[in-house]
Chain A
Amino acid sequence: MKWCSGNHEQRKFRVRCLVAAILTVVFAFVAAGVFRLFHPHGVVAYLVAILPALPILWVLIEMGRYLAEEKDEFQRNLLVQCMLGGIGGTLAVTTVWGYMEDFARAPRLDLVWVYPIFWLFVGLAWPVVYRRYK
């Protein structure tokens, strides 16, 4: 899928996701720098720590807004199916891994990986969903 393809809502959503991805990386570096240089404690530490998560929360809001604004019900249906694939895959992986951690002492899965895992499964679901309607 080309970056500039799709309708107005899709292009707007993609641009916002790109901006959020850039902000996540920038904020992650900022947060890492603040912790390295200033060693914040207490509430300030929590506030600095959640900085990289803010753009991710923004994308989640944008996903909801896109689904509400998308006038093409077929395209909306495709994204919803892909997101269901993403949710299902993420739940499956994290549940299985959780039990592996508990009983088999598998390496701890950092929670920051949940979001990338979700998008990985959304991406994997995409060709499967699209092929269904070809």
Chain B
Amino acid sequence: MKNRLKILRAERDWSQADLAQRLEVSRQSVNAIETGKFDPSLPLAFKLARLFGLRIEEIFEDERS
């Protein structure tokens, strides 16, 4: 699933490790989500949304819409 994580992270000058620490997941998890190779669960997607102060659909792009 396409997402804006890399851009949002860059805007805040966070590394993947910084974001991983804030989400309490591994850096590999952030990388896999960011590159669209792993889709996060709803709870993790909500956590990401809360962290960036955005709605889920503002971070993740539904490719079918």
Contact = CB atoms under 8 A, between A and B. Distances in A.
A97 to B, nearest CB: 35
Interface string A118-131: 00000000000000
Contacts, number: 31
Contacts of B37: 132-133
Contacts of A73: 25, 29, 40-41, 44
B33 interface: yes
Interface of B: 24-26, 28-29, 31-33, 37-38, 40-41, 44
Given A72-B24, A133-B37, 14 more contacts: A72-B25, A72-B29, A73-B25, A73-B29, A73-B40, A73-B41, A74-B28, A74-B32, A74-B38, A75-B25, A75-B28, A75-B29, A132-B37, A133-B38
